[in-house]
Chain A
Amino acid sequence: MARMRKSRGESLLLRYLVLGSWALVCLLPILWFGTIALRPRTEIVTPQPIYWPTWSLDAWHLLMSDWPIALYLRNSVLAVGGSVIIDLILAIPAAYALARYDFKGREDIGFYILSTRMMAPAIVAVPIFFLFKSVGLLDSIWALMLIYAAINLSLVTWIIRSYMLDIPKELEDAARTDGAGDLRILWEIIIPACLPGIITAAVIAAIFAINEFLFTLLIASTSGAYTMSVALANFTGGSDGVIYNAIALVSFIAFVPVLILVILIQKHLSRGLTMGAVKG
């Protein structure tokens, strides 16, 4: 089919065949997992898979009665939100310096910041575990907040730096001739002008923080500091086996806000994901 028309570019049929199949690959597992959230446990691990279950809200009742899901949500929001605030406070001045000043070592410092993103969490897992243990921070939301902030700081700095580079210099020069100092220019001109970049950075940092698994697993060893991500892994439920319908339900609860955030920053997503290297 495609061959017949190939002299005039790809055929629409081929295009929609490709796009449609990939859409199915993306969607079918999600829909099927949705049905898992809405079925009783007895219909999940069966000799023969059941595709059309007896619908039930078992998972919801289990979450409400046996698991402090509100606490997990609160922990997630506090740890993630706090980490994003820490990141912005540290990253905005740093990004400003990297974007607007010429100084010795700028390239190397910028690359050092970027390279911290490349470190595997497992490399620092043991030392960080000992560090937090020695200062009594294990099992605390504060520890998670500090770790999430550390993981995302490089990303946030580089995204914001990229947006700052786009602000025309004349804007600042005008303010400078009006007698404004550097910090005032940063606060009153630069920050408002690169707000889309700051929001993009914050959203992407929040998503990565929500997703973080290894440190959360190591640091939050009792349920006091469980976040959604680790709560999920702990629905393995010991002697009960894996409680899949509860897992599915929790993952959809976490999915919805993330989807909304991402739709809000859709236009900036490619730039954010490449830390500013690709302008979408």
Chain B
Amino acid sequence: MAKATPDRLRRRSPRMRAAFPYLLLTPALLYLLAITLYPGLFAIYQSLFVVKFLNWTWTGFGNYAAILKDREFWAALGNTAIIGGISLALQTAIALTVAYFAYRDPFIRGWRILYIMPMLFMPSAVAFIWKLAFNDGRVISDLLMSLGLIERNVDWLGNIWLARLTLITADVWQWTPFLFIIFVAGLQGQDQEIEEAARLDGASWPAIFWNISLPMLRPIIVVAVTLRGIDITTMFTNVYVMTQGSPGGATETMSYFIYRQGFRMFNFGYASAASVLMLIMTIIIAQTVVRRAFHSGKA
């Protein structure tokens, strides 16, 4: 890396100096363009064909017209929003509550290691843990029965909302730690004196939490929830392992829809068209929400 002799570099012409940062960036940018621009263009091109194995037949915007009329596509979009939205709201609420109670605790380092553990299992392993707990091993049903909450074994894949609940549980269990770690860091970084003053004035803890801690934590919450939200919209592994989209497609997410169209039904042109639509949505979200989130995070 230190091949160029320093002296020669330092005495380079102004034009060379101006080009230097671009040179440093070029390898990384080329690599990223190769995995974003190339697949993007390929997907746009392929989406204009009906692909049957090696046979590509031109169809123009046929795939798009079909997708926009495809109930399964809209269902997948809706499922992603519903499952992701509920899951994100739950894990944000839990992480905030737990972080608020934990950050001033003398044993915070121990709690943190304990709480982070679910995040450190491979997502596929976590999916299997919950598949076994809910469906195959009937553990959740058994526990609920012994608490007297239900009377018979529940078929978790037999009902739209129960099936979604299993996915939400797995996601909340594994990823609440992500938000927790960030919120604790944010709370620890806050100016403690304001809270302390409010406490001395006799304010209750919910009031302190709601009126002081939360507003001060806002920029950090925005960044953390945005990052987590992006990951949730790509949910695939849990669906693949736990539900495969059942019952009746009620748990099929966008990622699983693309996977199923492409790699189960071999409608590659169709899958590409869905990819392009999802890419457009991603770009819109990135340019609006994420850009703003990362700017406010810096403030």
Chain A: residues with CB nearer than 8 A to chain B? 2, 6-10, 14-15, 18-19, 22-23, 25-27, 29-30, 32-33, 36, 44-49, 89-91, 93-94, 96-98, 101, 103, 106, 109, 111-131, 147, 149-150, 153-154, 157, 179-184, 186-188, 207, 210-211, 213-214, 217-218, 228-230, 232-233, 242, 244, 247-248, 250-251, 254-255, 258-259, 262-263, 266, 269-271, 273-275, 277-280
Determine the distance from Cα of A44 to Cα of B227 in the docked complex, in whole angstroms.
Answer: 37
Other than A29-B118, A47-B138, A90-B27, give 19 A-B pairs with Cβ distance below 8 A: A7-B202, A19-B101, A22-B115, A32-B139, A44-B137, A45-B136, A49-B139, A111-B294, A122-B259, A123-B282, A126-B43, A131-B38, A131-B39, A131-B42, A182-B9, A213-B240, A233-B241, A270-B186, A278-B224
0/1 interface trace, chain B 185-216, chain A, CB 8 Å (1 if under): 11011000000000100101110100000000
Selected contact of A122 from candidates B22, B121, B227, B258, CB within 8 Å:
B258
* Contact across chains for B124 and A127 when beta carbons are under 8 A apart: no
Given A181-B7, A184-B6, A213-B123, check contact A127 B31 (CB 8 Å): no
Pick from B43, B105, B259: contact of A214, CB under 8 Å: B259
Q: Are B224 and A149 in contact (CB under 8 A)?
A: no
Is B272's beta carbon under 8 Å from chain A? yes
A122 touching B27, Cβ below 8 Å: no
Q: Is the CB of A214 within 8 A of B255?
A: yes
| B262 adjacent to chain A (CB < 8 Å) | yes
Q: Write 10 A-B pairs (CB below 8 A) sorted by A numbering.
A: A119-B279, A123-B278, A126-B275, A131-B42, A183-B6, A183-B9, A214-B236, A247-B125, A247-B128, A266-B113
Name B's interface SS. Answer: helix
State which size class the interface on B falls in.
35 or more
Contact between chains at A187 and B2 (CB < 8 Å): yes
- The answer to whether B241 touches A29 (Cβ under 8 A) is no
A48 to chain B, nearest CB (A): 7
Indicate if the CB atoms of A97 and B122 lie closer than 8 Å.
no
Chain B residues with CB below 8 A from A254, complex form: 121-122, 125
Whether the pair A123, B204 counts as a contact (CB closer than 8 A) is no
Is B35 in the interface zone, CB < 8 Å from A? yes
Q: Are B29 and A183 in contact (CB under 8 A)?
A: no
Q: How far is the CA of A255 from the CA of B184 in the complex (A)?
A: 23
Partner of B199 from A9, A48, A128 at Cβ < 8 Å:
A9
Q: For A258, give its contact among B94, B120, B240, B268 (CB under 8 Å).
A: B120
User: By DSSP majority rule, is chain A's interface helix, strand, loop, or mixed?
Assistant: helix
Question: Is B86 an interface residue, CB under 8 A from the partner?
Answer: no
Q: Which residues of B contact A29 (CB under 8 A)?
A: 118, 129-130, 133, 173
**Which of B57-65, B160-168, B284-292 lies on the face that meets chain A?**
B284-292
* Interface assignment of B117: CB less than 8 Å from any CB of chain A: yes
- CB within 8 A of B236: which of A117, A121, A207, A230? A121
* Cβ-defined partner of A123 (8 Å) among B27, B32, B39, B181: B39
Asked if B223 is at the interface of the complex by the 8 Å CB criterion, the answer is yes
Q: B220 contacts the other chain (Cβ, under 8 Å)?
A: yes
Q: Is the CB of B186 within 8 A of A278?
A: yes
